[in-house]
Amino acid sequence: MARILIVDDQKSVLLTLEALLTGAGYAVIACTNALDALKVLTSEPMDLLITDAIMPGGADGYALTRTVRKEPALAKLPVILLTGKREKEDVEKGIESGVNDYVVKPLDPELLLAKIQNLLKTKPEESAHFAQARVHYQAEWDTKTEITSVSELGMDFKSLVPMPLGKILRVHSSIFGDVGIREVAVRVDHCEEITGVDGFYKITTHFVGITEKELSPLRLWIRAKRTF
């Protein structure tokens, strides 16, 4: 059973998260501030940290994440940042602090659980299933890359260049304009060479910082495409 530490100064949020996560089969420990969270992290093994971005007392979720990343024993701990802020600069701040994912409030329970499963999973086929649309859009990071499928959780790419797990990519593609949303960063979850396709890699990613407002047109766009 995976152990998850949740941190938020609002007890109502903690109770909601605890009910959701325990109902999904996770063991949960709750803290109301970053200092107590650090004490737990340094004394008990945890598999995932979920922290609110803004908390009183000078130690917010950004600072907590930066501290975690500096501790050798905690550096690889997956971190999800919760926030009500939706602006691009806020997402960038979260990414720069070292979070693995950035979830905008109000929370979508199904999507949050899928993101948690995605961070905790050991095999790509264990991830939660969302409807996908087969697409053929050109995208760029350091090399031209093809987006091969899109779901509300993230994107799959075909590329000549492998990408390291955990790398956050800023993808530039016309697909975002077609969907009607801003360009959203993605994080690499899995990268493997495509059998029988010489030199190409399949790269599986999930969105970082996508909002519920952006998910709505994305879901409609996916449904309008041929799904599988």
Tell me how many degrees the CA angle 67-113-2 measures, rounded to the nearest 5: 60
Mean pLDDT of 148-164: 93
pLDDT of residue 11: 92
- As a whole number of Å, the CA-based R_g of the chain is 18
Digit-coded pLDDT (tens) for 32-80: 999 999 999 999 999 999 999 988 777 899 999 999 999 999 999 999 9
Q: Taking Cα atoms as reference points, which of 91, 87, 117, 88 lies closest to residue 2?
A: 117
Helix residue ranges per DSSP H, the chain: 11-23, 34-43, 61-70, 88-97, 109-120, 175-179, 212-224
Q: Delineate the domains of the chain, giving CATH numbers in brackets.
A: 3-120 (3.40.50.2300), 125-224 (2.40.10.220)
**Rounded to an integer, what distance in angstroms lies between the CA atom of residue 168 and that of residue 88?**
15
Q: Listing from the earlier edge strand, what are the strands of the sheet with 185-193?
A: 168-169, 185-193, 201-208, 155-159, 144-150, 133-140, 172-173
Question: Do strands 79-83 and 101-104 pair parallel, antiparallel, or not at all (unpaired)?
Answer: parallel
Whether the CB-CB separation of 95 and 89 falls below 8 Å is answered with no
Mean pLDDT of 138-163: 86
**Rounded to an integer, what distance in angstroms lies between the CA atom of residue 148 and that of residue 94?**
27
